[in-house]
Amino acid sequence: MVIIGLTLSSLGYVIVAASMRTIADHLHGQTLQAWATTAYTITSTIATPLFGKRWARSL
């Protein structure tokens, strides 16, 4: 199960990295692109252990 979680997490980062050019175009600038990337990374970093802890309790 850990491998599946890591694979899905990596896939999420690849999708965001590939679409970041389009996101920057919609946000009208490269400076906002840095904010979008940082927000995604921080949210993902915080959410992963929280969901892992919650899922581990249900076992």
Can you read off the two tokens belonging to residue 15? 């999708």
User: Quick one: pLDDT at residue 58?
Assistant: 65
User: Quick one: pLDDT at residue 24?
Assistant: 78
DSSP 28: T
- The rounded distance, in Å, linking the Cα atoms of 13 and 48 is 13
Q: Which of 49, 35, 59, 57 is nearest to 5 (CA)?
A: 49
Do residues 36 and 27 make contact, with C-beta atoms less than 8 angstroms apart? yes
- The rounded distance, in Å, linking the Cα atoms of 5 and 13 is 13
User: Quick one: pLDDT at residue 34?
Assistant: 78
Q: What is the pLDDT of residues 9-54, one digit of tens each?
A: 778 778 877 887 787 788 777 777 778 778 888 888 888 788 777 7
Do residues 33 and 23 make contact, with C-beta atoms less than 8 angstroms apart? yes
